[in-house]
Amino acid sequence: MYCHTRLDIKKGKRKFLPQRDTKLFTKEHKGKTIKKMNREEIFKIILDCSFKVHSALGPGLLESAYNECLFYDLIESGLKAEKQKPLPLVYKQVHLDAGYRIDILVENCIVVEIKSIDALADIHMAQILTYLKLSECRLGLLVNFNVLHLKDGIKRVVL
């Protein structure tokens, strides 16, 4: 991650701060350009849609139900989303179909991996990290809908 420095005026020391992501994405809804958003604004919309889905459905359903509902809400909010996006594995300049599929890819920059399980494990974090590397995205969201409070089932993943 690239960093920039800032002089802390109060203490006279330099601090290293993470560089802000300033890449903008154009949001279109029903063919009309609405505004340009950065990844953080898109991420907030994804979180809002996730909370709406969990509030409406609650825990206990299959992963596919949450996937379809979240996909529908993302499209309704005007974001470009693709579900079950295949990811090829490149090995020695050969594209292999290894069966990797991203649950939802939003605006070609954020990977959303949906789960409906008792608890998230390290293997689920490894899975989304693999998807981020293969897709060359930097930001991911791991969401477990099978929890009483959705805030306990959300993991933000940054490469």
- Across the range 129-146, mean pLDDT stands at 96
Q: Residue 82 is part of which domain span?
A: 23-158
- The reported pLDDT for the residue numbered 97 is 82
* Local confidence band at 30 (pLDDT 50, 70, 90 cut-offs): low
Within-domain flag for 145? yes
Alpha carbons 106 and 90: distance in angstroms, whole number: 22
4 occurs within a structural domain:
no
74: helix, coil or strand?
A: helix
Q: For residue 149, give the nearest of 28, 36, 58 by alpha carbon.
A: 58
Decide if 124 is inside a domain: yes
Return the minimum-mean-pLDDT range out of 7-16, 34-43, 70-79, 126-135: 7-16
Give domain status of residue 2, yes or no: no
Taking residues 126-138, what's their average pLDDT? 95
DSSP for the chain reads: --EEEEEETTTTEEEEEEPP---EEEEEETTEEEEEEEHHHHHHHHHHHHHHHHHHH-SSS-HHHHHHHHHHHHHHTT--EEEEEEEEEEETTEEEEEEEEEEEEETTTEEEEEE-SSS--HHHHHHHHHHHHHHT-SEEEEEE-SSSSGGGGEEEEE-
Residue 113 maps to a domain: yes
Judge whether 82 lies within some domain.
Answer: yes
Looking at residue 21, its pLDDT comes to 52
- pLDDT for the residue 113: 98
**pTM of the shown model:** 0.78
Report the domain count for the chain: 1
In a domain, 1, yes or no: no
Whole-number average pLDDT of the chain: 85
Q: What is the band of 33 on the pLDDT scale with cuts at 50, 70, 90?
A: low
